[in-house]
Amino acid sequence: MAREQFGICAEPNLHGSYLLFNALDDKNAFIRTALSRLPALFEDYGDQFSEANLTGVIAIGANYWDEFYPQARPKHLSAFPAMNSDDRLAPASSVDIYIELRSDRADVNHIVSSKVCQLLADSVELIEHIQAFRFLDGRDLTGFVDGTENPQGMRRREVALVKEADDAEFSSGSYLHTQRYQHNLTLWNSLQNKEQEDVYGRTKLDNIEYESEDKPLTAHTKRTSLKDEQGNAIEIVRQSMPYGDMKRQGLFFVSYCHSPKPFEIMLKSMIHGDDHGNVDHLLKYTQAETGAAFFAPSLSFLATLEDK
């Protein structure tokens, strides 16, 4: 059975470093070799700084995959589902390579990020580097705990990883979506506590879910807690983290799944809403500025890349 990349299902950390690159022309062979060596690099630094709980993820953009690995493509890999309605936007950005580093030490993330950039050298252009951090007890910068209803324990692997029976060559890989949201905290902080809680459908301080009958249809947790036609929960594994400084701040949203569909269904429910026009009111206070779709192949697949 193929082994997944350890960062996909890892528990939350104190610090995140997200590197987004574009590949330069004619560098594919070099990039394949460089990426095949990254898991060993992560492991070495993970051993050296064992208390930091370092994990990494390497993922390939949907629009770059065929150039990167023309031999085969993950079955459901498709472009980011850009959408918009009124002032609710989910734009798509062009990104070829995604590297996620998470640990409990910002300095360790910095060292490993530098090594990643050195190894990829002039085969890529760095588009964006987001340095993210844990806020209080795992809260988003709006002050609400983020991640409570995430799948836990072994369920994470079931939700996040492609199964052997679904796509043998790409089993234990994961479909990944990212969006960088920028918050309007001035507007958000002008709301009363109860108004903020209604936006999420959860209480703020003690993080309790509203009773179903009290939850507005426009609450974020109403719009994203969905079931399929057979009544099964539609799930993703979220590994988002807050980022920012005094100029811009928000959430770097990260979702892993065995299929790209659940993310798309949830995003559609947030932006386009239900048949009665109930859209996600969280989007009044935050806006997605980027969006990208990737596939994070298994460690076993990455190990084969050096010879391709």
Residues 253-272 that bind ligand HEM (CB under 6 A): 253, 263, 266-267
Residue whose CB is less far from ligand HEM, 89 or 117: 89
Select from 67, 149, 169, 289 the one that contacts ligand HEM (CB under 6 A): 149
Q: Quickly count: other Cβ atoms within 10 Å of residue 4's Cβ.
A: 23
d(CA 102, CA 108): 9
Positive/negative CA dihedral, 120, 121, 123, 129: positive
Q: Confirm if 36 and 28 have CB atoms less than 8 A apart.
A: no
Residues 224-243 that bind ligand HEM (CB under 6 A): 224-225, 236
Element (H, E) at 158: helix 154-160
Element (H, E) at 250: strand 249-257
Q: Three-state DSSP class for 282?
A: helix
Tell me the CB-side half-sphere exposure of residue 163, using CA atoms within 13 A: 5
Residue whose CB is less far from ligand HEM, 2 or 219: 219
Residues 95-124 that bind ligand HEM (CB under 6 A): none
- Can residue 180 be called a binding residue for ligand HEM (CB under 6 A)? no
CB burial of residue 45 (10 Å; 0-12, 13-18, 19+): buried
Name the minimum Å distance from CB 181 to ligand HEM. 4
Residue whose CB is less far from ligand HEM, 36 or 179: 179
| # chain residues binding ligand HEM, by CB under 6 A | 23
Q: Confirm if 80 and 292 have CB atoms less than 8 A apart.
A: yes
d(CA 221, CA 270): 10
Specify whether 26 is catalytic.
no
Name the minimum Å distance from CB 117 to ligand HEM. 27
Rounded to the nearest 5°, which phi and psi values hold at 293?
-120, 135
Query: Nearest residue by C-beta to ligand HEM?
Result: 149
Question: Which residue is catalytic, options 66, 87, 104, 146?
Answer: 146
Name the minimum Å distance from CB 153 to ligand HEM. 16
Tokens of 80: 């980011």
- Can residue 167 be called a binding residue for ligand HEM (CB under 6 A)? no
Q: Per-residue x/- marks for ligand HEM, 190-229, CB under 6 A?
A: ----------x-x-----------------xx--xx----
- Can residue 251 be called a binding residue for ligand HEM (CB under 6 A)? yes
Residue whose CB is less far from ligand HEM, 96 or 146: 146
d(CA 120, CA 129): 15
Residue whose CB is less far from ligand HEM, 51 or 211: 211
- Can residue 175 be called a binding residue for ligand HEM (CB under 6 A)? no
Q: Confirm if 116 and 41 have CB atoms less than 8 A apart.
A: yes
Q: Three-state DSSP class for 137?
A: coil
Residue whose CB is less far from ligand HEM, 2 or 146: 146
Binding site for ligand HEM (CB under 6 A): 140, 142, 144-149, 179, 181, 200, 202, 220-221, 224-225, 236, 251, 253, 263, 266-267, 286
Q: Which residues are catalytic?
A: 146
